[in-house]
Amino acid sequence: MEMDGIRSAERAGPTARNGRSRWRLTLAAMLTGTLLLTAACSGDKDDPSWQGGGDGAAGASSAPSAEPTLSTVAVTSPAQDAKSVELWSEVKFDSEDPDNTEVKVTNAKGDEVEGTLDKDQNLWRPSESLAWGTKYTVTVTTPAADGKNNSATSSFTTMKQPSNLVRVTSFLGDGQTVGVGMPLIMKFGRAIPEKYRAEVERRMVVTATPAQEGTWRWISSTEVHFRPQAYWKANSKVFTDVKLKGVELGDGWYGRSDLTVDLKIGREMILTVSNKTKKMTVKQDGKVIKTIPVSLGKPSTPSSSGTMVIMEKAAHTVFDTTDEDPVNGYKTPIDWAQRITYSGQFIHAAPWSEGVQGKRNVSHGCVNVSEALGQWLFQRTMMGDVISVTGTEDKLKNGNGWTDWNMSYAEYKKGSYL
């Protein structure tokens, strides 16, 4: 027997040499595997071990420290360098950490634009309309694990001021005090197509203090009213914020400007007129403060039964109907006049009918009172006070004045497009 396997293989022929080659390959593979295994198991304590291998000194197992994950952010809308962006456009963004994300919008001068951030929907909304034809820069920032901030910036330019602009107006003024039946009234300089009315309503926000439910109702294509479910609570504050600047209003027309109205609601005064008793009951804050004899419209010109609102007041005026009726018309000086319908019905002093007030109807449709009581009432009422007439031959037609209270709230709401 030879001393080792190598010599034995050398004595053999080609077949033995082929076997020897295979034997050497096998041995090399075994040695290599042993080295790899040794390296894997022993390792160096200064190098991370594979698969969580232990420390060379103690052999304890510990997981490697994870690399900090950075929260990425991006502005998704308006698109980078977008042009002709509408003035009320929202800024949309992506963030892996929305709770800690901040959004800043600045104009070309670097002034920050006020807005509100909705972190649930990843939206920033401007508090006021943006300016026409102006470049804005959006910066979205979120904290990173290394103490620095990750941020993304984007710019866009708003639309140029168009030539077709629609004006919205209200005759009500800031600080004005009105009665509990006063509807909020907005008028447009051009008819608003039906498909745009819901968006118009969304952008006319009414805030009452204390809070009160209410709704808008379109009276026509150019006029919309708002009333609460019940009469305004006495001494309330009502703020209307109309945000229509740059908002599309149909056929290439846009809102011209924004508008705010800050009103006060006065004490509650309700006038109730009964044709049966020929008397007006005046209630202030729920208490009867006066009962006034009246004369209503005669059968040929009856007063309207329904709920109306005092629309305007004139201490002294002239009723002139000669243009409408040259033959039977009249021109008469009137004191303490308070309009309640568009068709010409008023509460007013009528000294010529004082002898029959509380007994018979002789007017042309107005609510006649005495000169003294007409003045007394005039000095206590205000625009927006409520007058309800019952028992006459004619029913008040909706739209003949501010007839917002001449229907139920459920019926009124049907005039809204929301």
Query: Which residues carry out catalysis?
Result: 348, 366
Give me the residues paired with residue 123 across strands: 92, 118
